[in-house]
Structure 1
Amino acid sequence: MSTADPGSDKAAMARRQRAALYRKLRQLGMRALAPLQMRRRQANVVMFHVGRSGSTVLGDLIGQHPGVYWDGEIYEHRVFQPYEQNNGTIEYGRTALSYDPVPLLRARMREAGSRIYGFEAKFFHLDYTAYDLDAFLATLRSLGFKHFIVLERRNLLRKIASSVAAHERSEFHIKASANAGVNRIHLPVDAVRIDRNCKPLREFLAGYTRDLARLERSLSADSMLKLTYEEDIASDPAAAYRRVCDFLDLTPVATEVRLAKTNPYPLADMLENFDEVSAALRDTEFAWMLDD
């Protein structure tokens, strides 16, 4: 019967301790260097959008640039989703969730080192904070954010239909090599459940329109790049990527479009209750969205 070699055990333990010490020193070194790297950083940028607007395909392209650390929807992935995993579904007005968006943002910015740091925000992310839009923008400016991207989807009805379809099938994105099937959905005109809220269809449409207009007014004196899904992303996401590179004073590098449209079909084919939705939007400023 073999017996363990005490010397071998001690050597293994010493190796583990050295490895742990190395990791700790490396972590401390990165933290110590973070302020210096952040001062050397070329820019910080935030992209606002309402979702289902091509933000993920664009963010993926931007993130492929070696000079950019694209962090995506940090509040979605690091606040809302972890909360729901532990506590259940979040619904505005019924969920006692409150968070400060600044400490998380500061921590995430350090991860970028000297690269450009970018993240995405949706308007409803602020509903669970003490910040209104203008206060949040002022805080971003104080943190060194001087570049603002506004990504708009003009046909907001398609955004809402796409959100409902994504939630129903639990599939928000598909690979570029995949073919999207027709996702037939029922769109309840009096109680749409998206964005962790429940409101009538027309209230969602009016709210998005109001929020986007307010954002543009608030950024009128800032360095702002406005993109639209229909003109800048739908036919060629790489074109939007090149516009962002120009906005950030970056030389574009070769990238790959890795995501495809999830709902490329007419609304008449998607909506089981298309006639009901048409009636709800008839004689409103949103009626044109039915035919686009």
Structure 2
Amino acid sequence: MFIATLIAKESLNERDIQSANISLGRADATIIRQSELIDGRVLDIFFDGDPVAARARLELIGNDVDIAVQPEANRLKKLLISDMDSTMITVECIDELADYAGIKAQIAEITERAMQGELDFEDALRGRVALLRGLGTSAIQQCLDERVRTMSGAETLVRTMAQGGAETILVSGGFTKFAKPVAQAIGFRSFHANILGEDAGVLTGGLDGPIVDSTRKVEVLQAASDASGLPMEQTIAVGDGANDIPMLERAGLGVAYHAKPKAAQAADVAIRYNDLTALLYIQGIAADQWVSR
């Protein structure tokens, strides 16, 4: 059996529910039952049928309603792994850091192309970091203080899952100088990111150690799953760019969050309208069970 979860940005109306039932019928699905309305904006519909066809039909509903289709089994996840930039925080750190060097537009263009999957990730990362050579490391803390903001729902998502016993991992193609404080603020148990080269208080334009790229993200996911003795079906991954695609495809449930088209297409679920608390509703966790601090 499968579950189709409808999550409205504000309120779920009867017309949306009727549209969902009609859409499932057109996908040749058999509706078994449906939940009561949850928090005024969420509904679970349990059905038998083809989940791919069901998702395709349901996503035509629109009206600020996000759709998640997944197996009923292993709905509640025990491992969360997430990208950082434009996922757990609202900005791309390297773009904002570049602003302090006066080259934001130049670097942001490369970032966008890399996120769209048009450029090799490592080449694009090393090229952008090289342009930051000579920037004082004090700009990192200034950027954290002035630019880095937590994405809506991030802390609630992470702390609620952690309270429920889930492993929580932040894995970023960005930098440890940002990932460490972000992970601590939001409540992640661990983090992985790239190390900016520094010397005498300035950036060297290089990186120290191995690169955290798409391959490394999958390795972190697999290692954490193995270490916890969890089947992959009990893991959930969230990201927004091309660098996240292998991780989204490998996880039990891959969620593209306000993502680039390629990532949204590759993921099991694409969240377009709601904040990160949608990932709790997807797991069957209503607002009265959420934890923020």
TM-score normalised by L of structure 1: 0.27
Q: Identify, as 1 or 2, the structure richer in helix.
A: 1
Question: Per chain length, whose mean CA-contact separation is higher, i.e. which structure has more relative contact order (CA < 8 Å, sep 6+)?
Answer: 1
TM-score normalised by L of structure 2: 0.27
Give the number of the structure whose alpha-carbon radius of gyration is greater.
1
